[in-house]
Structures are given as C-alpha cells and as structure tokens.
Chain A
Amino acid sequence: MKLEPIPMPEANASDRRAGFGEVNQGYTEELAHAEAERCLQCKNEPCRAGCPVDVDIPAFIELIRAGKHTQAGLKIKETNAFPAICGRVCPQEQQCQAECVLAKQDKPINIGYLERFAGDYLIDNPPVQVERPEASGYKVAVVGSGPAGLAAAGDLAKRGHQVTVFEALHRPGGVLVYGIPEFRLPNVTVDHEVDALGQLGVEIRTNVVVGRTLTVDDLRQQMGFDAIFLALGAGAPIFLGLDGENLPGVMSANEFLTRVNLMRAFDEDYDTPVQRGRNVTVIGGGNVAMDSSRAAVRLGAESVKLLYRRTRAEMPARIEEVRHAEEEGVLFEFLVAPTRFLADEGRLAAVECLRMELGEPDESGRRRPVPIPGSEFTVETDQAIVAVGARVNPSARLIVPGMEQDGKGHIIVDPETLMTSIPGVFAGGDVVGGEETVIEALSHGRRAAAAIDKYLRGSC
C-alpha cells in the first residue's frame, strides 16, 4: 500500500550484539524519496508546531522529494544547526511526528529519518563554504561544548563575534560524545559539526574547567570577553543512597558510558578499562538506562536486566531505543525498585528489590509507584549500573560567585533572554533545567546567541 511508512534499514539484532557499529543504517536516496513522497505537504503545517526549533518540515521534505538534498539540509540548518545529530536522537514520537496528520493513522512521516538523511548528505557532500561575516569586534566565551554550547557558538560566529568555547574534557561534544553510544550516534558525526564550527572561526579550547583553570574574572578582565554563555549541562550522576552502593561492581551510568564512549573502552586499542559484567542489572527507564543496557550487551554480558519502578507506559526512553534494547535481548522488569546492594567477598553479588504497584498520580502526572510490603526478592548480579538521573554539578557554584541558582542547582535565567542574575552572563541547556533533550539545548543555544548579540550591540 502506498501509504505505509518506509522502515529504517537496521543491522540485525544478533550482529548488533557483537559490536558498537551504528544500528540504524540510514535511508538510501531511494528510500528517502519514497518516504518524502508520502508527505501530504499540509498547508497548515501541524508537524512544525511539534518541533521545538520550528524546522520547516514540509519544505525540507519537498526538497528531498525533488532530489535537492543539499538545499534540504540547508533548509533544516536555518533553524537546526545539527540535523545529522537531531535526526538520530530527537524523541520524534513526542515531538514533530506526534503532530503529523498521519499520526492519527499511526503512520506519521518519519521526519527524523529524513532529517538524518539530509544531515548526513551535507556531511558527505559539504556545500561550498559561505564567507565569514564582517567582524563585530566583540568576544564571547562559551563554557561547555554540548549541544547548547556548540549551537550558540555557531550562531554567534555567524553574527561576526569572535567565539571561544571552553571545555573541561579532552574532546568537545558534551553528552553527545561522552554519553550517547556509538551505536546510536557515532562520535565522528559530532566531530563533523565541531569541525564546521572551526571553519566559521570558532576556537575550541579543551582541558579548561572554568571555575578552576580559568575564572570568570579571567575571562572578562584579562581575556576581554564581552559576554559569557554557560552551557555546563547537568552531568553529576544521582545515586540511590542505598546500602552497598559504593561496592565494587556498582557504578553510575555516567561512569560506565564515559569509559565506553569517551574513553572507548570497548576498543582494545584504548587503555581505559571497563568492567564487563556477566549478569548486569541496570536501574532506570530513560534513554540513559537503555544506552547502558545495550552497551553492556555489546561488552559480552550473558544477561542484562533492566529494573524500572513504574510500568512500560511511563518509561521516558525513546520508543525506538526500547524496541532495539528488547531485540538485543535486554530483559525488562517493571514495578521493581532496588532497596540495597549485597556483597560477597567485598564485591557486588546481588541487588535486593521490592515490588511496586501504581498509586495516585504525582506532580509529573504519572502514577506514583508504591512499594508492596513483604515483596522483597533478590536479583543475582555482578555489575549494577545506576541510571536514575543526573543533576547540575554542585561545583557550578564556583563559577560565578553570587549567581542565582535554584534549590536543585539550576541556574536561574530570564526566560526571554536567558541572562542570569549577573549582567552579561547567560546560561542555557540542561544547566537551566527544562526538557533535557538535545534539541531543547540547541534551541537554548540559539536563543542565547540572539540575546547576546542584542546585548552586545545595544550596550555600546
């Protein structure tokens, strides 16, 4: 039937278990055209309303259909600097694709897959470089090189400002390179976007912790930056606070994924070790838990069990990730919460858990899990990965003394301009809270760049 969505070609599940290669292979031109063909080019563009950065979806799909792939990519880039990244990681089923008219028949256009196609096309066939704009004479420092920082840097450079990005780690990209694994978002895809910023004149300085290596005073007074954008992310792992949580064998998802992605522990040419558990338990239900489970499968675990305290319906992970994890053999246990970690000879041996049931809705509108008394049971495991969330790094308080932060550490900003309580210092992305998605971080970066431009040009 003509209206059937074109599926994404995928590596088969048993091959996937053996390596870190990308699962989604990307549309070929033919497949992309066939999917683009399905789009109804709706006049009222309902899909656009679902996109946090208002990508002109009908227009770019029409360009793909017409075979104008470069123009399609550039059309997306008018509002979304990183189509190859967002096409891969946006929760499309809650955003653009949810609003597509065809979603009513459960056959929304695969907008993300098409976006990825156009983004990859631009990477493989880079268009002739546009000329750099006239220099404004202003200098802007961006702290943090995740999607918020990179997006801001690009927009600021395009407006003629001299931009330096400071990054604590040795490689730029934030969560995109240290967290999200290769099989979902290859680090080289991120490198391409970072290189493109270099061509715009953006300087990236790794190995700089702002607050320690350089202070904000250094940036402003000694180095002459006229404005600062803080895009620090929310990278500090949250632990459960349970007995036995510091046992060898229990680790945060951030540690596990950083060893695997940033430090490339899956590749024997790299030196950083990572524990390769036999019976692995992952605690959580979001993208981070899916990424950890699937990475553990690939490192050779015999079994990987994911414990989530609510039900499948409440899991915040992308649907595609959940499906991929199941195909790869991850076992899901719903309505289960760990209560303590048990040791044998000083190493993790089991997780004790309680069964839960759903009670009244909580402030997020989801029904709250309530423990069932006396339902204790244990899961034998030699590696437990805690993926229950992250928060703003408490050392963010060091960066700008006196800057206002809320009780959770989020930097308080003016919702319009993203300016903090300190004039000339702006903040965006996960460090200010919100949806905590790549596309929202990118959208903050763009808005901050516009506000910084206005601030600079208006102020003298």
Chain B
Amino acid sequence: MFEITGKQQLAEEIIEYTIQAPDVVRHHEPGQFCIIRVASHGERIPLSIADTDIQAGTITVVVQIMGHSTQELAQLGVGDAILDVLGPLGHPTDIGTPDRAVFVGGGVGAPAGNLIVGQMKQAGAEVLAIIGFRTRDLVIYEERIRAQADELIVTTDDGSYGYHGLVTEPLQQRLEAGSEYDVVVTVGPVVMMRAVAEVTRPYGIHTIASLNPIMVDGTGMCGACRVTVGGETKFACVDGPEFDAHQVDFDELLQRLAIYSQQEQQAEEAGPHPCQLEQQIGKMQ
C-alpha cells in the first residue's frame, strides 16, 4: 500500500497528490511515469511524475479528473492509501546538451515541465518555457516553472491571463524573429503537441513529444500503447513515452485514444461527464 501524504486542489478538477513510494523514487529520472491502481476493482492509470523527494521517498503526480477512475482517485485524501504504484516506467527524457531549449506544456501536461526544465538547466541550457491553459483559473505550476526557467510565457485560450492565444503562437513568433533553439520538449494534449511539431518542423529543431496513449500493463506486454513513429510501430510504455515529434503519427494516436470513449461515457453513472481534455482539444482545433 502506498500512503498519500499530500493532496492539493490546484484548479477545478485538477488535483496534486504526493504519494509515499520510495522504490519508485530511487531510480526515477525526468520524463518517466508511473501506473497506479486505486482499489482492487480499479483500472491501471498511467500518470507522469511531476516531482520527487528522495529524502521523504515520495512522488508527486498531478491528475486531471477525467472519468471514472480518476474520480475514484479524487475521493482519496491524506492518510488514505493507493493499492498499487508501479514505476518508474519508460525512458528518461534525452535532451542531449542543448545551449538553448524550450519546454512547451499544455493543461495537465504543464507540471511535467517542473522536472524537464530543471533537467534542461542542469544540462547548462538557457530555457524558455511556455505553458498554456484554457483560462486563468486552470493555470497550474506557474511559480515552480518560473523559478527555474530563464523565461516563462503563460498563455490562455480566452486571454483571461498572460498571452491571449495558443502556446504555439509565442513559439512561432520567436522562431520567425530568428531565435534559435537546439531542442523543444512538449507535453500536453495530443492536438497541442501535433501543432508544436508543425511549428518547429520547418526549422528542423529536434522536437520531443511525450505521448499518452491508452495503456494497460505499462511493461511492454500488451501492445495497447502502440504508436507509429517514423513508419514503425513502437510501444510507448517501453520504447517511449517520448519520441521524435516530427516522426509521430498523431492522427493515429488521436484515433486510438478514442477506442474506449463510448464505453467510458457509459461508465459515468451521472450521465456524460464534461471531458475537459477533449474540450480543450476541440478549442485548439
């Protein structure tokens, strides 16, 4: 059992949990994820690791309450235990040794920037971070990322805070103005990551996207998480989750993410749940 030692509501339907999981922390590196199972009848839920505390033996995850399983997680508070936590899974982020690096995060993908920007700084890079949200109330992890990045741009779709527009716009403007970057790492909704890849493609900037396909075991045993990268099938849980964004077949990923959407909607006892990620995606298209 894995005890919850911290819980904080960061925004509507977004909760940060700190969980006692000393084995997961020991070898964790930025970019890796974990899989949790709340209770014995529960699904295995993959979640990025937003922070770790080696001394305390804890991991921090930021969860968007999407459907049945994340709602069930939301019922738990400090002192409660999570049945299973498995990790760290996947490859660490491989950014090389860039001089100038960009992190682009969207929604619940923004917190991943906490560790990734940290890693970029450690590699000696000058870091621009751009994090985007639908509206002011949903802005999360701003301070933690600002504290590490050389420059932070926050965007909102509705202009209620920061830059009015999508995360790709400030990036595009910098590139058009002649800024040069060695690497861009992007984490967030699939449609956003696809857009980031399109913006950097003409400039030939190495762009890494952290993919979030449906997973079951997370150990390479089922193939539910397969994605096409450069024309080849890869298992995101063991070959990824990060891939060269210019090679990823994002349309296929979107298609595969919707495989269970009908059944999941039926699982919502209280009628269809407003799925925020999909709303966000709708907006961005």
Q: Given contacts A207-B85, A213-B23, is CB(A271)–CB(B68) below 8 Å? A: yes
Contact with A along B251-281 (1 / 0, CB 8 A): 0100110111001100100000000000000
B255 in contact with A258 (CB, 8 Å)? no
A237 in contact with B228 (CB, 8 Å)? no
**Residues of chain A with a CB closer than 8 A to B260's CB:** 273, 275
A246 in contact with B23 (CB, 8 Å)? no
Chain A contact surface mostly: loop
B86 in contact with A263 (CB, 8 Å)? no
Does B217 lie at the interface of the complex (its beta carbon under 8 Å from any beta carbon of A)? yes
Q: How far is the CA of A214 from the CA of B22 in the complex (A)?
A: 11
Size class of B's contact patch?
A: 35 or more
Q: How far is the CA of A206 from the CA of B68 in the complex (A)?
A: 25
A271 in contact with B267 (CB, 8 Å)? yes
Please tell me which one of the listed residues B24, B37, B87 contacts residue A170 in the complex, with CB atoms under 8 A apart: B37
A214 in contact with B23 (CB, 8 Å)? yes
B233 in contact with A246 (CB, 8 Å)? yes
A248 in contact with B86 (CB, 8 Å)? no
Please tell me which one of the listed residues B27, B37, B220, B256 contacts residue A236 in the complex, with CB atoms under 8 A apart: B220
Which residue of B has the minimal Cβ distance to A267? B41
B86 in contact with A259 (CB, 8 Å)? no
Q: In the assembled complex, how far is the CB of residue A289 from the closest CB belonging to chain B, in whole angstroms?
A: 16
Does B216 lie at the interface of the complex (its beta carbon under 8 Å from any beta carbon of A)? yes
The count of A-to-B residue pairs whose CB atoms sit within 8 angstroms is 112
Q: How far is the CA of A270 from the CA of B216 in the complex (A)?
A: 14
Residues in A240-257 with C-beta less than 8 Å from chain B: 241, 245-249, 251-252, 254-255
Q: Given contacts A237-B223, A239-B233, A394-B238, is CB(A209)–CB(B216) below 8 Å? A: no
Q: How far is the CA of A218 from the CA of B27 in the complex (A)?
A: 10
**Residues of chain B with a CB closer than 8 A to A102's CB:** none
Q: How far is the CA of A245 from the CA of B23 in the complex (A)?
A: 36
Residues in A182-241 with C-beta less than 8 Å from chain B: 206-209, 212-215, 218, 235-237, 239, 241
A170 in contact with B255 (CB, 8 Å)? no
**Residues of chain B with a CB closer than 8 A to A251's CB:** 223-224
B238 in contact with A259 (CB, 8 Å)? no
Does A317 lie at the interface of the complex (its beta carbon under 8 Å from any beta carbon of B)? no
Does A168 lie at the interface of the complex (its beta carbon under 8 Å from any beta carbon of B)? yes
Does B11 lie at the interface of the complex (its beta carbon under 8 Å from any beta carbon of A)? no
Does A169 lie at the interface of the complex (its beta carbon under 8 Å from any beta carbon of B)? yes
Q: How far is the CA of A271 from the CA of B41 in the complex (A)?
A: 6
Q: In the assembled complex, how far is the CB of residue A233 from the closest CB belonging to chain B, in whole angstroms?
A: 9
A237 in contact with B221 (CB, 8 Å)? yes
Please tell me which one of the listed residues B26, B89, B255, B263 contacts residue A346 in the complex, with CB atoms under 8 A apart: B255
Please tell me which one of the listed residues A206, A213, A218, A246 contacts residue B88 in the complex, with CB atoms under 8 A apart: A213
A269 in contact with B23 (CB, 8 Å)? no
A394 in contact with B88 (CB, 8 Å)? no
Q: How many A residues have CB within 8 A of the partner chain?
A: 41
Does B219 lie at the interface of the complex (its beta carbon under 8 Å from any beta carbon of A)? yes
Contact with A along B207-237 (1 / 0, CB 8 A): 0000000001101111110111000010000
Does B84 lie at the interface of the complex (its beta carbon under 8 Å from any beta carbon of A)? yes
Does A303 lie at the interface of the complex (its beta carbon under 8 Å from any beta carbon of B)? no
**Residues of chain A with a CB closer than 8 A to B264's CB:** 273
Q: In the assembled complex, how far is the CB of residue B197 from the closest CB belonging to chain A, in whole angstroms?
A: 19
Residues in A90-146 with C-beta less than 8 Å from chain B: none
A273 in contact with B44 (CB, 8 Å)? no
Which residue of B has the minimal Cβ distance to A248? B259
Q: How far is the CA of A271 from the CA of B83 in the complex (A)?
A: 15
Q: In the assembled complex, how far is the CB of residue B127 from the closest CB belonging to chain A, in whole angstroms?
A: 27
Does A272 lie at the interface of the complex (its beta carbon under 8 Å from any beta carbon of B)? yes
Does A437 lie at the interface of the complex (its beta carbon under 8 Å from any beta carbon of B)? no
Does A395 lie at the interface of the complex (its beta carbon under 8 Å from any beta carbon of B)? yes
Q: Given contacts A255-B222, A271-B69, is CB(A395)–CB(B238) below 8 Å? A: yes
A212 in contact with B89 (CB, 8 Å)? yes
A246 in contact with B228 (CB, 8 Å)? yes
Please tell me which one of the listed residues A215, A241, A258 contacts residue B27 in the complex, with CB atoms under 8 A apart: A215
B233 in contact with A245 (CB, 8 Å)? yes
Residues in B180-221 with C-beta less than 8 Å from chain A: 216-217, 219-221
Given contacts A168-B86, A236-B220, 7 further A-B contacts (CB under 8 A): A207-B85, A235-B220, A249-B259, A252-B222, A272-B44, A273-B267, A395-B220
14 A-B pairs whose Cβ atoms sit less than 8 Å apart in the complex: A170-B44, A213-B23, A215-B27, A237-B221, A245-B233, A246-B256, A247-B255, A255-B222, A259-B216, A271-B42, A346-B255, A393-B219, A393-B220, A394-B220
